[in-house]
Structure 1
Amino acid sequence: MKKRKSFWLNAAILFYIAGLAYSVYYNLNGHTELWLVPVSCLVPFIVPIVFKLLHIRLTERIMILNLLFCFFAAIVGSTLGGYNQPYYDKIVHFGSGLLLTMAGYILFCVLKKIRRVENKEDTYVMLIFINAFNLAIAVLWEFYEYSMLVFFNYDCINHYSSGIHDSMTDMLCACVGGLLITLGIYHSYHRHKPNFLTKIYEELFDANEKV
């Protein structure tokens, strides 16, 4: 089982590197987003650095999910012009809602120092917390995009073409993604049986139990 996980992690790393290499070729042939390639090189390190600062050992499953999201958000979206395509940014915001709600679940369990939420009261608080965490990050991201418009006149929120519509739909997509994860986690607790979502944290807990 360990060899299989290592294979998928190595495959994800190679996949990301290949994407970076292609983005350099793509932008050297008539496109203008080459300056974003170094940014795409740094983005995958954000999650590992956060975990390092928190003294939490990363699992391979989380590293793979991080690389896949960064690939579509940073490489395809930014360096290959994905955000210029209709609805692509909505798909990315939907994906961020999935991952950030899962991150909220991990954070909740870490703060509670538990492997699994057992009692009903904690379950209800956890369901509220993970969605509040997801939506808080979504709002902060829109604040960042708005500040880019105000201070640098860089219209990444499409203010001049759609007004508030772009920001609202971005947050709605993140919310929908978060609700889907919430349903998956609630289903696990309702059945008193771990599923793929809860196992992500349980695996992380087990990896750090003796650290």
Structure 2
Amino acid sequence: MKFNRKFNLILVCIAICCGLYLGIDKMISGDIYSALIRFAIVPVMLVPLILRKVFHREIGAKLETIYLLFVFCAHFLGSIIDLYHSVPGYDKVMHLLSGSVSALVALYVLIKLNQYSEKSLFFNVLFIIAFTIMIAGFWEYYEYTCDQLFQKDAQNVLTTGVGDTMQDMIAATIGSILVIIMYLYEVLSHSNWFITRFMKETRES
């Protein structure tokens, strides 16, 4: 637990400090769009802290670390350090991981809303997939809105049409299916691995 907190704090400090520094640099050079992307890392990395301090909601050490790691890789390394353009396939890997993270969040939501039951595996799986597709869809809405507001092409519509958007959503769905396979295996075999421990921690948080 202590290691998780220290690790999370290091991730947050690196992302926020670098994001602010690079954001100010972009502001000075007149690139408002890039500056906003860099400044946005601040509230995004602070979501677990905001939930804890403002809404008195604990999301659990595992989910918090997974969330911060994903945001660090997707937003900080991907958008700010620009690995999306410098590393082939990085975007698709992040969308795959986003599906896996969304699947874990779906399990968290089911448990916290007291709707989870091991007797309803079909419903649980259906909810996880639907939740993941919903999150992936909202993300594409967000990218489309930003493209329209700032006259950018984050969705790569000019070069791929709807191809890039569909590939992103398919990657996210595959990511959720991987978690579902792990979930079903652990439940049906009564194993005590990652998913089982994650659900136990969620119940106790």
Distance 1:184 1:81 in 2: 32
Query: Which residue of the partner structure matches residue 168 of structure 1?
Result: 166
Counterpart code for 2:194: F
Query: Which residue of the partner structure matches residue 118 of structure 2?
Result: 118
Distance 1:125 1:54 in 2: 29
Q: What is the Cα deviation at residue 23 of structure 1?
A: 5.1
Distance 2:112 2:54 in 1: 14
Change (3 A) 1:15 1:57: closer
Q: Which piece of structure 1 moves more, 160-169 or 187-196?
A: 187-196
Query: Which residue of the partner structure matches residue 38 of structure 1?
Result: 39
Which ranges in structure 1 are unaligned for 5 or more consecutive residues? none
Contact in 2 for aligned 1:135/1:171 (Cα 8 Å): yes
TM-score normalised to structure 2 length:
0.84
Which ranges in structure 2 are unaligned for 5 or more consecutive residues? none
Q: What is the Cα deviation at residue 102 of structure 1?
A: 0.8
Query: Which residue of the partner structure matches residue 66 of structure 2?
Result: 65
Match of 1:190, SS? helix
Contact in 1 for aligned 2:100/2:178 (Cα 8 Å): yes
Query: Which residue of the partner structure matches residue 15 of structure 1?
Result: 11
Q: What is the Cα deviation at residue 20 of structure 1?
A: 4.0
Change (3 A) 1:48 1:185: farther
Contact in 2 for aligned 1:48/1:58 (Cα 8 Å): no
Contact in 2 for aligned 1:12/1:67 (Cα 8 Å): yes
Contact in 2 for aligned 1:69/1:95 (Cα 8 Å): yes
1:142 to 140, 143, 149: 140
Query: Which residue of the partner structure matches residue 131 of structure 1?
Result: 129
Query: Which residue of the partner structure matches residue 96 of structure 1?
Result: 98
Q: What is the Cα deviation at residue 38 of structure 1?
A: 2.1
What RMSD, in angstroms, separates the aligned Cα atoms of the two structures? 2.6
Counterpart code for 1:94: L
How many matched pairs? Answer: 199
Change (3 A) 1:55 1:13: closer
Change (3 A) 1:187 1:71: same
Deviation string for 1:97-130 (max 9, x for gaps)?
000011111112222355xx332xx111101111
Counterpart code for 1:162: T
Change (3 A) 1:45 1:73: same
Distance 1:109 1:24 in 2: 36
Change (3 A) 1:44 1:20: closer
2:178 to 173, 177, 180: 180
Counterpart code for 2:118: E
Distance 1:52 1:97 in 2: 27
Deviation string for 1:13-60 (max 9, x for gaps)?
21332344445666749x964443321111122345457777532322
Match of 2:105, SS? helix
